[in-house]
Every structure is written in structure tokens, then in C-alpha cells.
Amino acid sequence: MSHAAVALVVLTTMALVTGSGPAKPGQGFGGSAGDDGHFEMTAWRAQMLADSNAAVAPEEQLVDYRRAVACREAAAAWVMANDDGSCGAGADTAGMADCGEDSVLLPMWVRERETPASPWGQWRQIDNGGCGVDALPVLTAEDFRRLPIPAPALNVQPAADWVLVNKETIVYTDPSPVTLTTDLLGYQVTVEATPIRFTYDFGDGGRPLVTTDPGAPYPAFETFHVYRSLGTRTITLTTEWSGRYQVAGSPVWRDVDGTAQTTATSTPFEVVERSSKLVAELCTAVPTPADCR
């Protein structure tokens, strides 16, 4: 691949900060170039995802990122290449590290502005690029936990507004993996979240049920609880998720170093006591037979 072919990758911008100023630990990446032209990496991990949708409309962005070839000027300063990948007069890519096969690293550049109406500042380099997977952003556990993973449904049997005391109340859920997409420093990332542990709190002060079994409905049920006292109860299901992700353009799936949790709560129901008796007719008859009352 020629230098021109890797001239410029324009990335979808994410507003990581609401103001301007140089990147700080936790807000960007850092690096420096030695006198011999080789890069020394001193990267720190940025907090890439905002609490909801990190991406904003282009006209509202305060921070703009691009990956582009770095050009070394005569004064040994590195500047971003032109839009066509060329370097200005007296500057070239000599001494820049490469990844083999005539392909060079594409450092990350950033420019900022005070408000959407303000002019953009100068481009400055904030990382040194990398080869293959090394050049790709990392989805951290914090990023994973910010994703809108939908809580799996909490199913309760009997599916009514009451359950019987001293009888099994059955619970089960859906163990299907969930696939989401998000932006991470301008890269599209596919994330697969898989439920790995389920914790049921039955709302009666007893020990929660912690299991890797998602359960099943009657009659093949294995996850259940027996209430020993009457009263109003709710059940809360906490699901723990593991994750893996794939950055667009890379065939590699990488594991998330951490887990996420979701919760789902049932509607309140009554734990009741019922007695049985023989009746002359079906209690579903209309009008209801007198001995069914």
C-alpha cells in the first residue's frame, strides 16, 4: 500500500470533553517522537464513551479527530499531512516507523474549539499509531458497562398476581447473547454481550439464588423459591454479562477485561394461602356455582 493510499482516514468524531485545552490523563493519548524519528509510546487510556450517546452532530462538535500520515519538517517537528496525503515543502515522512509492505503508521490528530461557532484550533498529534491490532482502540470494562445492554426478561410462574406459600415459585430468563454497535474514538465497534451468571433476590429477606442456569418453565424447572410467609413480594433478577468486541476493519475478536450487570424486577405479587375443596360443578361455569365462592 502506498503512502498516498494511506493518506488520511477521517474518523467519526466523539465529543469527549465539553471544553477545550490539551488532553489530560483520562481524556486522550500521549506520545513523543525521538530525535531519530522513532516514536516512544506513552499512551493513557481515554474515556471514550459518554454516559449516553457519545457522538454529536458535526456542527456541534468541539473536538475533531483524524488519523493521517505525519510529515517531518526541517525543524524536526512533526505535522499532519495534507488532505491528499502529501507533505508540504521541505517536509517528508522520512524516519517514520512503518508496518511493512510499504505501509506506515497513521498517528491520531486532534483539534479543538471553544464553542460550535468558534474557529478550529491547530491540529496536534495525540498518539503515534500502531500496526494491526496495536493501532486499534481498546473497549474497557467501563466502556462495556456504559452500553445499553437490555436486561433479559424475568419470568415468574405462576404468572399471576399471587403465588402460593410453601409451594415452588418458578423463575427463569433468556440466556441469549446480545449484539450491539458503538463508536470508539471514531471506529465502529461490534460488541457481543453474553449472560454468564444470574442472581435472584426473592424479596423475603432470604439468601439470593445465584446460578449459571437460566432456568426453564414448568414442568422442566430447576430454578425456584419457596416462600414460607405471607405478604407482598417482588423478585429482582441481576444478570452478569461477559463481553467481546470487534473493531471495524479487523478480523480479531477481543475479550472485554471485565463484566457488566443489568437488573429486572417483577411486578409486586401476593404470597397467599389457599385451601382446596370438592365442588359439584366447574368453577369456570357462568354464573359461578355457589360452592365455588
Domain that holds residue 182: 141-272
* 3-state SS, residue 8: strand
Lowest mean pLDDT among 81-85, 89-93, 174-178, 214-218: 89-93
Same domain, 151 and 46: no
Q: Is the pLDDT of residue 167 over 70?
A: yes
Question: Is the pTM value of this prediction over 0.75?
Answer: no
Q: Is the pLDDT of residue 235 over 80?
A: yes
Count the helices and strands in the chain (H runs, E runs). Answer: 1, 20
Same domain, 149 and 79: no
In degrees and rounded to multiples of 5, residue 231 shows phi and psi of 145, 180
Same domain, 164 and 93: no
Q: Which residues contact 169 (CB under 8 A, 6 or more apart)?
A: 156, 157, 158, 163, 202, 224, 225, 226, 227, 235
Other CB atoms within 10 A of residue 114 CB: 12
- The answer to whether 17 and 107 are in contact (CB under 8 A) is no
* 3-state SS, residue 100: coil
Same domain, 100 and 149: no
Same domain, 81 and 186: no
At 176-187, the pLDDT tens digits run 999 999 888 767
Q: With respect to residue 73, please indicate whether it lies within any of the assigned structural domains.
A: yes
- Cα separation, 54 vs 33, in Å, equals 30
- Total domains in the chain come to 2
Last residue of a domain, one of 88, 116, 135: 135
At 194-213, the pLDDT tens digits run 999 999 999 999 999 999 99
Residue 39 forms beta bridges with which residues? 33
CATH number at residue 164: 2.60.40.10
* 3-state SS, residue 290: helix
Helices assigned H by DSSP within the chain? 141-146
Give CA 175 to chain center in angstroms.
18
Q: With respect to residue 238, please indicate whether it lies within any of the assigned structural domains.
A: yes
* 3-state SS, residue 199: strand
